Structure 1
Amino acid sequence: MNAQPNPALAPVAPPSTPATPPARQARWQDVLPPAAILGPSIALLAAVIFFATQSERFLTGQNFSLILQQVMVVGVIAIGQTLIILTAGIDLSCGMAMALGSVVLTKFAVDHGMDPYAAVACGMAVCVLIGYVNGALVTSIKLPPFIVTLGTMNIAFAITQIYSQAQTVTGLPEAMTFFGNTFRIGATSITYGTVLMLGLYLLTWLFLRETAPGRHVYAVGNNPEAARLTGIATSRVLVGVYMVAGLFYGIAALLSVARMGVGDPQGGQTDNLDSITAVVLGGTSLFGGRGSVVGTLIGVLIVGVFRNGLTLMGVPSVYQILVTGILVILAVATDQLTHKKG
């Protein structure tokens, strides 16, 4: 009779240890910024290098601070423009909304003796109202954003001229010019308005990246019907985007007043095109659903660096406009080719 082996005496195999995954090797692609802003980043770096070789005054802290001061108003407007373009829309009324807001908040404080902070709130409310009208017309009547904002641009311009009688508003209270004041870091003077602009970019970046409403903005711009089928209230998102953009235009109005020291009814007439230029140069697609507010900041800096550098070189302003137009066409052409390839 064969003896059966005793299971208890059988050798026990050592427990298998899971294979340790090989250490992930760092790749040079991991160091680069995302593809959407890689091109604008390279363009900005190339522009800085070029102008640094043309003028010894370019690579100074004071000059960089001046560039940020020059672009802070358009930079804040461009944040609102970015949100709208991400939804496949466009806003031509942004500059005139900003001008109307600046006139309202200054006249309420100077002519009507309103508390400066309440007057600022009224000016911003006017800009938000314009944004609401834009969003409501786009969503309820299904009018193209281009046509809607073209109409509200003209309406805002007319109201601004009528209300101000085409006269600048002077004698502003100090509270309204605070963001035009400066503080020093070393030998460089920096305006509080510049800090506010950069802070708004940071908050908007976090909103779009980390919150559900921010992701809804991308979803609506990418495919509104698919977004609706997933339960996203697309109309509410669009109206909200236009209203938030209006709030940014109101903040830009305050920065414009702080920088200029007056309420200027003639201001903002080219800010709509300047903001669109910055957004497009920053890599945000005009087809919606793709882009980044970080890219917009880079686009704003590209425009500012080119204008500042060409000025230091003594190039007439008409050639600055020419260069900006060429950059816009190249950026839009790249976006179009990328969209078709996708």
Structure 2
Amino acid sequence: MSNTVTSAAAEFARRQHSPVQRVQHQLHARPWLSPLFLLFVAFVVFFIATPTFLTANSMGILLQQTAVVATLAVGQTLVILTAGIDLSVGAIMVLTMMVMASLARDGGMPGLLALLIGFVLALAAGALNGFLVTRINLPPFIVTLGTLSVYTAIALLYSGGESIQASHLPGLLNVLGDGFAIGGFRLTWGIVVMVIIYAVVGFALSQTAWGRYVYAVGDDPEAARLSGVPSKRILLAVYTVAGLIYAVAAWELIGRAGAATPNAVPDANLQSITAVVIGGTSLFGGRGVLIGTLLGALIVQTLQFGLSQMGVDQQWRVLATGILIVVAVAADQWIRKVKA
């Protein structure tokens, strides 16, 4: 009887909501809906503005350009889900890339060993971020702002500011830039690896106790701690796993760019954060799904790619990205105010 009364009360409350409140509830329950709609609108607008936008060749290029940022955004999503932020994503990726490429240059070291050393380095860089946040109790923003400068400087000092072309690197480091055709689409192995990363991390977040702990720590760290969740260990694991994911992005970037350069993707931090926020993950932690992040990365790259095809200057593209961030954060604030 009590269940029937509760259901009736919930149904009555639902009917009292205005159309805007119903939309707010839907977006709160399904954070991937808004980026999906935004991506659809972007595709329609750019298709009307430039008919070459939706060709198989253009879509293949768009996916290739999305792979690196989308992979970085997976690690960024993990950190933001815990109510943190990682400003060092691009620096860790570039440092890892330069170390792997320098070690393997002209046969100096087997490609597999150089790759493994790069992965260990990125893992250690992420773990250092996590250590400073969890053991020294420094704010994530300050920690990663500092390590952004540290890792960037080390990458420049180590490489001497010199780029290393693909012709000087073993095949293993370049392999993710190789591809295959499906119809008129040309996809790369980097895209395949990116999809695998999303599948693995998405499964971990949605189907494992570790994933539930990540959401719990982001939603209310004190309540999670009192419930027996090892909050500090979870945070340390999140930053460490994120570092490992940035190493995968570094590997993808070598194949995508055809070179290792210390000045690669200077706006990687901005793009990864934008992808996560537009994808519906709350900057305050505890809410978001990886499919939204993937949609957000596609939106960011679609905006850049579409405006480029229209001949819009780079400055205006940066402006458009900034506006997207402001709108996405404002929408997140509005969605978080949802009432039962």
Q: TM-score, normalised by structure 2?
A: 0.89
Query: How far apart are the structure 2 equivalents of 1:77 and 1:320?
Result: 20
Query: How far apart are the structure 2 equivalents of 1:185 and 1:70?
Result: 17
Q: What is aligned with 2:122?
A: 127
Conserved 8 A contact 2:173-2:255: yes
How far residue 315 of structure 1 moved from its aligned partner, in angstroms, is: 1.1
How far residue 229 of structure 1 moved from its aligned partner, in angstroms, is: 1.2
Q: 2:193 aligns with which of 182, 192, 196?
A: 196
Greater displacement, 108-117 / 97-106: 108-117
Conserved 8 A contact 1:284-1:296: yes
Letter paired with 1:282: G
Query: How far apart are the structure 2 equivalents of 1:102 and 1:209?
Result: 30
CA 254–341 in structure 1, closer or farther in 2 if over 3 Å, else same: same
1:8-37 CA distances to partner (integer Å, 9 max, x unpaired)? Answer: xxxxxxxxxxxxxxxxxxxxx9xx995211
Q: What SS does structure 2 have at the residue aligned with 1:128? A: helix
Q: What is aligned with 2:224?
A: 227
Structure ID, larger Rg: 1
Q: Aligned pair 1:48/2:43, yes or no?
A: yes
Q: 2:320 aligns with which of 323, 335, 338?
A: 323
Conserved 8 A contact 1:222-1:290: yes
CA 112–142 in structure 1, closer or farther in 2 if over 3 Å, else same: farther
Query: How far apart are the structure 2 equivalents of 1:338 and 1:292?
Result: 15
Q: Aligned pair 1:106/2:116, yes or no?
A: no
Q: What is aligned with 1:270?
A: 267
Q: What is aligned with 2:3?
A: none
Q: What is aligned with 2:212?
A: 215
Q: What is aligned with 1:165?
A: 160
Q: What is aligned with 1:22?
A: none
Query: How far apart are the structure 2 equivalents of 1:62 and 1:199?
Result: 23
Query: How far apart are the structure 1 equivalents of 2:280 and 2:169?
Result: 38
Q: What is aligned with 1:311?
A: 308
Gaps of 5+ in 2: 1-21
Greater displacement, 200-209 / 129-138: 200-209
How far residue 340 of structure 1 moved from its aligned partner, in angstroms, is: 4.0
Q: 2:75 aligns with which of 61, 65, 80?
A: 80
Q: What is aligned with 2:84?
A: 89
Matches within 5 A, 1:26-45: 35-45=30-40
Q: Runs of 4+ in structure 1 displaced over 4 angstroms?
A: none
Q: What SS does structure 2 have at the residue aligned with 1:58? A: helix
Query: How far apart are the structure 1 equivalents of 2:321 and 2:160?
Result: 33
Gaps of 5+ in 1: 1-28
Query: How far apart are the structure 2 equivalents of 1:229 and 1:221?
Result: 14
How far residue 65 of structure 1 moved from its aligned partner, in angstroms, is: 1.1
Conserved 8 A contact 1:172-1:261: no
Q: What SS does structure 2 have at the residue aligned with 1:36? A: coil
Query: How far apart are the structure 2 equivalents of 1:238 and 1:192?
Result: 31
1:39-63 CA distances to partner (integer Å, 9 max, x unpaired)? Answer: 1111110110111111111112221
Query: How far apart are the structure 1 equivalents of 2:177 and 2:305?
Result: 19
Conserved 8 A contact 1:58-1:309: yes
1:166-189 CA distances to partner (integer Å, 9 max, x unpaired)? Answer: 111231111111110110111221
Q: What is aligned with 1:13?
A: none
Query: How far apart are the structure 1 equivalents of 2:48 and 2:195?
Result: 27
Query: How far apart are the structure 2 equivalents of 1:265 and 1:324?
Result: 23
Over aligned residue pairs, what C-alpha RMSD do you find? Answer: 1.5
Letter paired with 2:120: A
1:53-109 CA distances to partner (integer Å, 9 max, x unpaired)? Answer: 111111122211111111211110000000000000000001000000000001111
Report which of the two has the higher share of helix: 2
How far residue 341 of structure 1 moved from its aligned partner, in angstroms, is: 4.5
How far residue 112 of structure 1 moved from its aligned partner, in angstroms, is: 7.1
Q: 1:140 aligns with which of 130, 135, 138?
A: 135
Q: TM-score, normalised by structure 1?
A: 0.88
Q: What SS does structure 2 have at the residue aligned with 1:189? A: strand
Query: How far apart are the structure 1 equivalents of 2:236 and 2:106?
Result: 33
